[in-house]
A and B are shown apart, each in its own frame.
Chain A
Amino acid sequence: MKRSREKAASELFAALYPRLAGWCRRLVDDDETAHEIASEAFTRLWARWTSVAEPRGFLYVTAANLVRDHWRKLERERRAVRRATTEAAVTPHPEQADPSVRLLVQSLPERLRVPILLHYYADMPIREVSVLTGRKEGTVKADLHTARELLRAHLRRSLDHTL
């Protein structure tokens, strides 16, 4: 019993960890943070293994929350640095390999961010997103539509700015 559970856990880890960590890597600044977030999501999953029905969804939602917390922490740190030093002296953080994704998703309101992260970045179908977020499928579709419109406008603005 214990051995089969251990085997299932090992298989789940092998199947999902690289992808989850890669998903996190796209949203944070470095590999180490991505590993930390993915590991924490797996730890939380296995700490309550018996009560989680859908491990994949649980992992991604947990990771999305952890990423959000990480962003908030970064923002607080940045504000503190800004307060401590003059604004001009602070150089912006070195951007990651794919900054646009994070910046775009970060620009979304909280309510729209999770469906976008789960649907587009974690490849979850709308049905699954609706189950995980506790919203109706129609609501999820509407949220995704609104998020896309916002992102499109944001993208257009940034393109105009660069041109």
Chain B
Amino acid sequence: MITHSDEGPDFDPDDPLTVILQPPAEYLGAPPGRYEEIRRGASRRRLLRAAAGAALTCGVAALVVLPLHLTTAGRPASPTVPLAPPPASSRSTTTPPSTTAPAPVTPSPSARPTTTPTRTPGTRTAEPSVTSVPSLVQSAAPTGGATPSRK
């Protein structure tokens, strides 16, 4: 074997270790057909590796693309946003019950008058009578307990 020049001073040629560490080169010829066998094995392995690489790439691409696709596919489901205007129109149709709230506000005075006049002409007359006829209140005051209870 080759004697290296960079081994250092502790490598004595008479050292038994030198004999062991520097054995004569040994050669072992390749059996017939071994070269072709190795080449076939290597190309098969290369193919496998390429296939595995392609599969991995496809997998990664699918992992990246699928969520994107799903989110874009999910968006059409959210066109609830475009549906927003229809709720506005349907609200107008549905809101009447809710808008009746304001409506009743206005009608209520009118309705009350319409209903109350028929119902309680007496009470109505009592209210106006409160404003218009202090004398009546004064007359009611003697009944007394009613006025504090009203207030």
Contact = CB atoms under 8 A, between A and B. Distances in A.
B10 interface: yes
Nearest to B46: A47
A101 interface: yes
Interface string B22-46: 1101111111001101110111011
Given A47-B49, A148-B10, A100 B30 contact: no
Q: For chain A, give the interface size range.
A: 35 or more
Interface in B1-21: 1-2, 4, 6-8, 10-11, 15-17, 20-21
Contacts, number: 99
Given A19-B25, A35-B28, A47 B42 contact: yes
A22 B34 contact: no
A148 B21 contact: yes
Interface stretch (A70-78, A80-88, A119-127): A119-127
B27 A47 contact: no
B42 A21 contact: no
Interface residues of B, number: 33
A21 B30 CA distance: 8
A120 B30 contact: no
A45 B42 CA distance: 8
Interface of B: 1-2, 4, 6-8, 10-11, 15-17, 20-23, 25-31, 34-35, 37-39, 41-43, 45-46, 49
Interface of A: 9-10, 13, 17-19, 21-26, 31, 34-35, 38-39, 42-49, 98, 100-101, 104, 116, 119-121, 123, 125-126, 141, 144-145, 148-149, 151-152, 155, 159
Nearest to B49: A47
Given A17-B34, A34-B28, A42-B42, 18 more contacts: A13-B35, A13-B38, A18-B30, A22-B27, A24-B28, A31-B28, A38-B28, A42-B38, A46-B39, A47-B41, A47-B46, A48-B46, A48-B49, A101-B23, A123-B25, A141-B6, A144-B7, A151-B17
A121 B26 CA distance: 10
Given A151-B21, A155-B20, A10 B4 contact: no
B11 A43 contact: no
B26 A43 contact: no
A21 B38 CA distance: 14
Contacts of A49: 42
Nearest to B7: A144
Contacts of B29: 18, 21
30 contacts: A13-B30, A13-B38, A17-B34, A18-B27, A18-B28, A18-B29, A21-B27, A22-B25, A22-B26, A22-B28, A25-B28, A26-B23, A35-B28, A35-B31, A39-B37, A39-B38, A39-B41, A42-B38, A46-B42, A46-B43, A47-B49, A49-B42, A116-B21, A119-B4, A121-B21, A141-B8, A148-B10, A148-B11, A152-B17, A155-B16
Contact of A35 (B15, B21, B30, B46): B30
